[in-house]
Every structure is written in C-alpha cells, then in structure tokens.
Amino acid sequence: MTNALRLGIAGLGTVGTGVLDIVKRHAALLAARAGRPLQVTAVSARSKGKDRGHDLSALAWHDDPVALAKSADIDVFIELMGGDSGPAKVSVEAALAAGKHVVTANKALLAHHGVALAKAAEAKGVMLNFEAAVAGGIPVIKTLREGLAGNDVRRIFGILNGTCNYILTKMADEGRSFADVLAEAQKLGYAEADPTFDVGGFDTAHKLAILTSLAFGTQVNVDKIAIEGIEAITLEDIRNAAELGYKIKLLGVAVAHEGGVEQRVNPTLVPKNSPVSETDGVFNAVVIRGDFVGDLMLEGRGAGSHPTASAVVGDVVDIARGNARPVFGIPAKDLKPYVQAPQKAHEGGYYVALQLHDKPGAVAAVARILADEKISIESIVQRGTASNETRDTAPFILITHNTLEPSIRKAMAKIEKDGHVVGHPRVIRIERL
C-alpha cells in the first residue's frame, strides 16, 4: 500500500468533526477502499482550545487557513468554513495555486465562483470536489457528473433545504403556524437565529445553480434564479392544498428549453402522488430527468454532521483513487454561457387564494379579469362567509390551467386594484410533475 494521503481540514464545526469521526472509525475500511491510508495531518479553526471530542495534539495547527492551504504537509485541502468570500475563497484559491486537491462543502462559494475555481483546478491538474455542497449525504453530484454521463438531462428539480421542508411538514401534520414552527426549528438547531438564508430560498438557489451547471453544461449563474421563499405560506394555504390533492414544498427547478435555461426557487403545490410529495421533515430529494434513464429520484438526509461528512470523505476517497474528471462534468472552458429562457417558456398552473368582499358581482369581476389575461380556470372553491367587525368576506380559491407568470401577476394586480378583494392575493405555483 502506498503512502498515506495527507488531509488538512479548515473548519472544525459539525461537519469538520464529523470527518474526523469517520476517518478515525473507518481507518482500515477507508484504506482498503482508497488504496492507501487517509491521514489528517493538519487543521485550522477559530478556537484552538475548544473541546471537539478528538485529540488534536499530534496535528499541525494553523490559525490562518491560507497557511494550511499552502502547507507542504498536506495533499488535500478540505474547506469547511463556509461563505462565498473571505477566508474560504482565499484559502481555496491558495490551495489550488499550490497544486493541492480541494474538497469543499461550500455551496455559496461554488455558486458565485465555481467556474473560476474550476478553471484554476483544471489548469493545475488537481481535483476540486464538492459532493457535500448539495443535498448533504445524497450523492447527486456524482450521479450527474458520472452516473448519468450517457443521458441528455433536460430537467432537474427537488427539495434542497431541510429547514424549509421541516417547517412545511410540521405545519401540515400538526396544524401550526409558520412562526410557531420556525421558532421550534430554531430551538432544535434546524434554523439559524436569522433564518432568512434558508426560509427566503437563497440556500436552495445556491444549490440549484450548481446542479444546473452540472446537468446542462452551462456556466454557474445564481444571479438569474427567480427566488421566492416560504415566509408568506399560511396554514390556510396548507389546508387548501391538501383538500385539493396537493402538498406545498419549496422546490428548486431547472429546465433546459430550446431558447435557454429556466431556473426558479418557489413554494410549489405538488400532487400527493408525485415523486417528492412524501419527502418530509429534514429530508431532501432530487429528481433528475434523463432521456434514457427517465426520472431518477435520490432521497436522504440533506444536512447534518455525519451525512455531510460522509460526502466529504467520499470525495477524498475519489482523490486517493486518482478518479480525476472535470469539475462540472466537462472542462470549465467548454461550459456554455448561461442564457436565460424566454418568458414564454415559464408556463404552469397556479393556486390563487383571495379574500373577496361578500357582495354581488365580486366573483364575476375576478373571472372577467382572468379572462382578459387569457387565464382559464380549472377549479374554483368558495368556502362560505367569514365575518369580522368591519366587513363580510368570503375565502375564494381557484386553480388555473397553465398560463404564463407575467399574465398571472398582471391579473392579480388588476384584481387587487379593482376593490373586490381584502388584502393581497396569495399566489403559489403548481408543478404537475
């Protein structure tokens, strides 16, 4: 057996300590599978004195991750600090420039700088692996980059954020409000003190941008993703969806059209018999549609110490085996410029919830505005009258046939201005998957 592959880990949080756990517990198994031992030789973190459940005294300690990245004592730099700039970016660039292989779980870094980093890695003849950056322990990167190499992938979608999926699942199963479940998720550590990155859809967008590049051979472009989070989803929406045969999930969707690529992140009504409808709690699911394989669904734990660390270690084993391939499946120089699909390609059905003034002509006025925008209605549900101190209103839910998003938005603006509704219409896209 050849010399050990020497690993340097920058960031000893939950994932970093998870990597230490796996390397220690499965040392013999990993050596057999990799063809050589894997040895952590150096680390870098914010606090040297913190107890991480491992004896680090025999490892070289670097206060500066850039120094670790350049160290002659490592072969692979494992970046687990996070962030799309600062120490993470500088240290990864330094490692690649020094001819070190890099493994990272940093989706933000790849979403914003993936193409440049891929070019740097390929110019140096080293690997840049990032299985852990998307969907935790689910091997979706390897599936797209290697397993489906014989397929023309035209569509990819999925649940890519466990925090949002946990919140929506709890709202549906326990009849609780968004605010109530979010507070619980924060208490359990599923959501950050500032949850905007998760519930606002930005985490999902970063992951979707990476998958889009792998699936369609385009340059990564997170800035072109239409993003909508789950903050406005109400318990009433959850219940209405259930009665109509749907569940609400936050989906990342990418579709390759003839005229360009469509990317979006939004709350979505999915049929109860669809591939992702039963993916609940903190689990993730990704569905890939290939021309020869059909629909392939991968489901599992999308975050957490050991699932994510498992993906990191898998990337390290690939490096030990010499399993080299282009970072995004094809050479970075050959990635096509990202072209946004024309608006006419963004077509789908919509769920619309309105609180109408309970008076003659209100429903007819809504129907007339929809007809003016050439939006046809698939079904209508009127819940009856609800009273409060100042006015009588009636909940009114409609499902549209496929239409263009600009049309539905224009119609909603007209309906709101027309004076027949109380508050703002709630609009959720429908995916008939």
CA 64-306-55 angle, to 5 degrees, is 50
**Which string of b and e fits 165-193 if b means at least 16 CB within 10 Å?**
bbbbbbbbeeebebeebbebbeeeebbee
Q: Record the tokens describing residue 23, joined without a space.
A: 């390397």
DSSP 3: P
CA distance 264 to 142: 23
Q: Which stretches of 302-361 are assigned E, i.e. beta strand?
A: 347-357
What are the C-alpha distances in Å from 52 to residues 16, 18, 20, 21, 399? 10, 10, 10, 10, 52
Q: Are 285 and 275 in contact (CB under 8 A)?
A: yes
What are the C-alpha distances in Å from 284 to residues 200, 211, 224, 249, 302? 17, 14, 23, 11, 5
CA distance 290 to 376: 31
Catalytic residue among 70, 100, 107, 207: 207
142 contact partners, CB below 8 Å, separation of at least 6: 131, 314
Q: Are 250 and 411 in contact (CB under 8 A)?
A: no
**333 part of the active site:** no
**Which string of b and e fits 293-311 if b means at least 16 CB within 10 Å?**
eeebeebbbbbbbbbbbbb
Catalytic residues: 207
